[in-house]
Structure 1
Amino acid sequence: MDIMKSFSLEGKVALVTGASYGIGFSIAKSYGEAGATVVFNDINQDLVNKGIEAYAEHGIKAYGYVCDVTDEDGVVAMVKKIEEEVGIIDILVNNAGIIRRVPMLEMKAEDFRKVIDVDLNAPFIVSKAVIPGMIKKGHGKIINICSMMSELGRETVSAYAAAKGGLKMLTKNIASEYGEYNIQCNGIGPGYIETPQTAPLRTEGHPFNNFIISKTPAARWGTTDDLTGPAIFLASDASDFVNGHILYVDGGILAYIGKQPQ
């Protein structure tokens, strides 16, 4: 067995949802660099165009589609179009997600439902749409972008934590139902990652920045590149007997109780 070849994604079609920028973009870009054909979607044409341009700057020809991942009919139509124009999907990364930071008593049920719809219902919808093609092809990889909030609670993120906890169990259930078809479904749980959205919190001296660094054994924020190795592993033949697992890429936060106060 050529161990390095088992990590190659050559000849594979990879769909990463919501991957015009951020974590999804970094994962999809790494798939392109590992040999996969990159397919992504976003909510509007402007974001899709920007994503295509960003991939092209890295020498990657990406196929972009406008699709709301909470719309089941729209997702089914998108997957059908991808299969016709690019090929049957070998790898799915359910990355699209939102968060609403609102105390539970101040959150409207409508906003709670919206987070659940995007962060939990959508991965169900997209996975359901691609699994028949994977069964037909005889293999498939589904990777759900979970969170440390799949394990922990925190102030103001009741909807997000509920959705990501549910996504952890959806991951295990897909693995349970479709493992016999050589389909592996796993999750990645990012820690606190350097993104444009977290930039205001990462300034030196900011209380939240100090909090995260003190709670992380690695003593730093993660980068989107920290997620690409695990993402390639879980998308590749090297992980063919890994199923129903959540791989937390968090610098050790979940393993650490924190420093004793001085």
Structure 2
Amino acid sequence: MTDEPSVPTDYAKTLFDLTGRVAVITGAGSGLGAAMAIGYAQVGVDVVLADINMDGMKATRATVAEQGGKAEIQKLDVTDRAACFALADKVAASRGRVDILVNSAGSAFRSPAEEFPEEKFNFILDLNLKGTYFCCQAFGGKMLSQGKGSIINIASIGSFTAYPWASAYLASKGGVLQVTKALALEWRDRGVRVNGIGPTLMESPLTKAAGQKTSITADWIKARMLRPRLGLPRELIGTAIFLASDASELVTGHIVMCDDGYMTQ
């Protein structure tokens, strides 16, 4: 590829081709992580599923297999920095490289701010923010050694705006936004791009577990939606493919919003 301002023959044909690339997806046992893992496998990506949810990962792997793909399961607690680095070493040794990292592991807890339990605040910050950062460090280091890679952090509409009973979650996702920008700034000249996806309120096990579908938090968000429906995990796959591919070569340090227009208001 040259730097000439022309369009080479067949240039566009391979922009979205991810065949044979290696992707690690955290939180791949359910919800958004599972959907993106399945989507990557459908386009020929060598998928490594990482989660503490072994049963969930087995279900994701089974779906990948049913559709003709392959996926490997690796148990990972993303809040354990040493474990993140150990898995990065293992994947790099067995696959020879790590091309894509999707940081989808996360959780939420709903409580008015004045009553928010300290242990829940710590849990949310540790999982959503520190877990994302540790995986970026571990797998990003492999990408820096390669001189190329794409990291995709799962942010949120809550990275940019507030809603009630979600102060810890908002703090964590605001932090994910800033980590994404900071790492993009530091790593772009060494070949590694760092971006994020900002979903709207999604139909997923996390939203159900947090009670969002009938909660003060969910009611607040749904009242401000342009359309009265939650997002579906599969609706993030296209953006995940774009950000992992050469089609997004000039995109780094951004959160690509998949919010159905929520942030236009």
Q: With structure 1 as the length reference, what TM-score do the two structures score?
A: 0.89
Unaligned runs of 5+ in 1: 257-262
- 2:198 equivalent among 169, 189, 201: 189
Q: 1:96 to 1:207 in 2, by over 3 A?
A: closer
- 1:38 equivalent among 47, 59, 77: 47
| Partners of 2:176 and 2:28 in 1: CA distance | 19
- 2:30 equivalent among 21, 24, 40: 21
1:167 is paired with a residue whose SS is: helix
**Counterpart residue number, 2:4:** none
Q: 1:84 to 1:231 in 2, by over 3 A?
A: same
Alignment of 1:102-181 (within 5 A): 102-181=111-190
1:20 is paired with a residue whose SS is: coil
**Counterpart residue number, 1:225:** 234
Deviation at 1:184, TM superposition (A): 0.7
Conserved 8 A contact 1:13-1:87: no
For residues 130-168 of structure 1, what are the alpha-carbon distances to aligned partners after superposition, in whole Å with 9 as ceiling and x for unaligned?
122212222110000000110111111100000000110
| Partners of 2:57 and 2:206 in 1: CA distance | 19
**Counterpart residue number, 2:100:** 91
> Structure 1: which 4+ aligned runs deviate by more than 6 Å?
206-211
Q: 1:83 to 1:222 in 2, by over 3 A?
A: same
1:7 is paired with a residue whose SS is: coil
| Partners of 1:201 and 1:108 in 2: CA distance | 18
**Range moving further from structure 2, 157-166 or 189-198:** 189-198
Conserved 8 A contact 1:212-1:221: no
Amino acid at match of 2:72: Y
| Partners of 1:63 and 1:244 in 2: CA distance | 29
RMSD: 2.1
| Partners of 2:84 and 2:232 in 1: CA distance | 30
Alignment of 1:251-262 (within 5 A): 251-256=260-265
Q: Percent identity?
A: 37
Q: With structure 2 as the length reference, what TM-score do the two structures score?
A: 0.89
Mapped pair 1:63 → 2:72:
yes
For residues 34-92 of structure 1, what are the alpha-carbon distances to aligned partners after superposition, in whole Å with 9 as ceiling and x for unaligned?
22111111114333333322322222210110110110111111111112223311000
Q: 1:69 to 1:209 in 2, by over 3 A?
A: closer
Conserved 8 A contact 1:193-1:222: yes
